[in-house]
Amino acid sequence: MDRKPAVFFDRDGVLNVDSDYLFEIDKFLWIDGAIEAVKAVNDAGYFAFVVTNQSGVARGFYQEADILRLHDWMTSQLAAHGARIDAFEYCPFHPDGLVERYRLVSDRRKPQPGMIADLLKKFPVDVSRSFLVGDRPSDMQAARAAGLPGHAFPGGNLRDFILPLLASG
């Protein structure tokens, strides 16, 4: 199978406005240009992935089912604009979690590269042309650990930020 490049998006602060421990659809706000950025990634022939730490599960704020419900809603919103995320990966674990079964150190929690590594095993990704877009140092560290360039999204319009990155790839 032919390999193709991928864009790994952090979720909170990149695709949506970061409001602490977001899981409710009615509180979700897309970042300006986010839907158009995902569509641009799709149209450029890249995989579009989401890799997101969701320690709110370990902290007892919400359940994994809430994350899945939100990601399903995001999928439907994107589909209405002809865009798609090829896969969502999330890490519900945190070493200081209150919920015992989620209280652990995980190689899937950024800055570790586990979520990215898992996607690289599942999809035929051309790593040499792939990159991550995040808004925190832990995103950049995870990208580096996975052998990918990381690009720090400073805010503003995500489509305007991503188009030059796609053009240079």
Report the distance separating Cα 69 and Cα 24, nearest Å: 9
What pairing do the DSSP bridges indicate for beta strands 150-152 and 47-53? unpaired
Active-site position among 2, 12, 43, 126: 12
Query: Radius of gyration of the chain from Cα atoms?
Result: 15
pLDDT in tens, 42-69: 999 999 999 999 999 999 999 999 999 9
Position 1 scores a pLDDT of 67
Q: For tokens 């839907």, what's the residue?
A: 35
**Domains and their CATH numbers in the chain:** 6-168 (3.40.50.1000)
* 96 labelled catalytic: no
* 72 labelled catalytic: no
- pTM, whole model, 2 decimals? 0.96
Mean of per-residue pLDDT scores for the chain: 96
